[in-house]
Structure 1
Amino acid sequence: MKILLVEDEANLLSTTSSYLQKEGFVCEEAPTFSVAEEKLTLYQYDLLILDITLPDGNGLYLVPKLKKTYPDTGILIISAKNSLDDKLNGLDLGADDYLTKPFFLAELNSRINAILRRRKFSGSTSVVFNEIEVVPNAMVARVHGQELDLTKKEYDLLLYFLTNKQRVLSRENIAEHIWGDLSGSADNFDFIYTHIKNLRRKIVQAGGTDYLQTVYGVGYKFAAP
């Protein structure tokens, strides 16, 4: 899951980003309104964690822009202001939740997971496609009830494909979503092929169908044959 963290306090930005990455998220950082606006224009995220008070703008202005372009992206507002008006304004604009500073990182993680479950999986505890089942809370994937031995990247790829089934995903989009900013330093996307090849093999060995279709010259699609 890919998160954009918008926070102008350098220490909090670094600490929170490191914690979320240890929790298994791809976390990109934006210390200002302008950087956040640019990233939201260029990339798609599963969740936006947004500080309201930024040195160069009001973070709330980003909410309607994001909802217009990517309505499925979750939004968690964080602010030092414990104001009912701020909370109501954020929720009315389309935010999913509101957290007041200071907060515990464990609580932030719980809020994030709750939003992602509601947004991506409509409240379901698992994602099912024919014989394949993924349980996001437990980071477990099964085929015909048999648990797959997947690496973190293979699991992320499978979940990304399942939540975008029937859609053609370019190699660039896959790399950027799973690896974040680090994908920009890659000379080519051969590493994606390696991970997808391994994912295919593990699904088939467990008795599953190979739903990963190569769209030559473009990327991949997860769909029934």
Structure 2
Amino acid sequence: MRILVIEDEQELLKSITVYLESNAFVCEQASHIYAAREKLAASDYDCIVLDITLPVGSGMDILRELKAAHKSCGVLIISAKGSLDDKLLGLELGADDYLTKPFHLPELAARIHAINRRRVFGGNDLMVLDKLTVNVQDKYVRTEQGAVDLTKKEFELLMYFISNKNRVVTKEAIIDHLWGVHSNMPDNYDLIYVHIRNLRKKMTDKGCPDYIHAVYGIGYRFSIADLPVEA
């Protein structure tokens, strides 16, 4: 899951980033409103962790801009301001949740997961897609023939495909999502091919149809509808 953390307190920004990255999130940082705008204009994120009080501006301004741009990312506000008015305004402007400082980092991660489940998977931890069963919270995948043993990156790749089901995703978007700030690594295209090949093989070896369809010259599409109809 790709996260943008917008927070001006450097120690807290570092702590949040280190903790989330240790829990399989891909994180980018912005410590002021201009950096946040630049990153949001250049990339899409699954969730934004947003401080209200920022230098030269407010997190509320970011929320208004996200709403005006019809961005679909989740937003979790973090702020020392705990008044009801602040919470109501943030939620009215499109935030999904509000966490008052100080907070425990495991709770922050749990709330981000909850936002993503609501936004992408309708609030469900368990998804059944044709022959494939996925537990989002516990990060396991199985078919009728048993568990599919995926690496962390393979699971993240599968979740990215599922969250973009029936849409074409480019190789560049996959790289950006899985590696974030490290996406300029020269061997990432080779890594994408390896991960996709391994993911396909592991699922089909367990009796699962191949849901990942190559779109020549562009990228890939995860689609169950494209499977051949049995006679």
| TM-score, L = length of structure 2 | 0.93
In the superposition, relative to structure 1, how do residues 180 and 57 fare at CA in structure 2: closer, same or farther (>3 Å)? same
The Cα of 1:179 is off from its aligned counterpart by: 1.0
Deviations 1:11-66 (A, max 9, x none): 10001100001111111111111111111111111111000111121111111322
Work out the CA distance in 1 between the residues paired with 2:208 and 2:69. 35
| Counterpart for residue 72 of structure 2 | 72
| Counterpart for residue 173 of structure 1 | 173
Work out the CA distance in 2 between the residues paired with 1:145 and 1:121. 24
The Cα of 1:127 is off from its aligned counterpart by: 2.4
Deviations 1:127-160 (A, max 9, x none): 2221112111001111226211100010011111
Uncovered stretches (5+) of structure 2, i.e. residues with no partner = none
| Counterpart for residue 198 of structure 1 | 198
Equivalenced residues, count: 225
Work out the CA distance in 2 between the residues paired with 1:202 and 1:24. 21
Q: Which runs of 4+ in 1 moved over 6 A?
A: none
2:154 matched to 1:154?
yes
Work out the CA distance in 2 between the residues paired with 1:67 and 1:187. 36
| Counterpart for residue 85 of structure 2 | 85
| Counterpart for residue 213 of structure 1 | 213
The Cα of 1:68 is off from its aligned counterpart by: 4.1
Work out the CA distance in 2 between the residues paired with 1:108 and 1:188. 30
The Cα of 1:71 is off from its aligned counterpart by: 4.3
Work out the CA distance in 2 between the residues paired with 1:130 and 1:71. 30
CA RMSD of aligned residues (A): 1.4
CA contact (8 A) 1:74 1:95 kept: yes
2:33 matched to 1:33?
yes
| Counterpart for residue 116 of structure 2 | 116
Work out the CA distance in 2 between the residues paired with 1:71 and 1:149. 34
| Structure 1 range deviating more: 63-72 or 214-223 | 63-72
| Counterpart for residue 139 of structure 1 | 139
Work out the CA distance in 2 between the residues paired with 1:217 and 1:211. 18
Work out the CA distance in 2 between the residues paired with 1:161 and 1:188. 17
Uncovered stretches (5+) of structure 1, i.e. residues with no partner = none
SS of residue in 1 equivalent to 2:138: coil
In the superposition, relative to structure 1, how do residues 193 and 79 fare at CA in structure 2: closer, same or farther (>3 Å)? same
Work out the CA distance in 1 between the residues paired with 2:176 and 2:12. 25
CA contact (8 A) 1:127 1:162 kept: no
Alignment of 1:54-65 (within 5 A): 54-65=54-65
SS of residue in 2 equivalent to 1:63: helix
Letter in 2 for 1:24: A
| TM-score, L = length of structure 1 | 0.95
| Structure 1 range deviating more: 106-115 or 69-78 | 69-78
| Counterpart for residue 163 of structure 1 | 163
The Cα of 1:70 is off from its aligned counterpart by: 4.9
| Counterpart for residue 13 of structure 1 | 13
The Cα of 1:188 is off from its aligned counterpart by: 5.5
CA contact (8 A) 2:145 2:207 kept: no
The Cα of 1:169 is off from its aligned counterpart by: 0.6
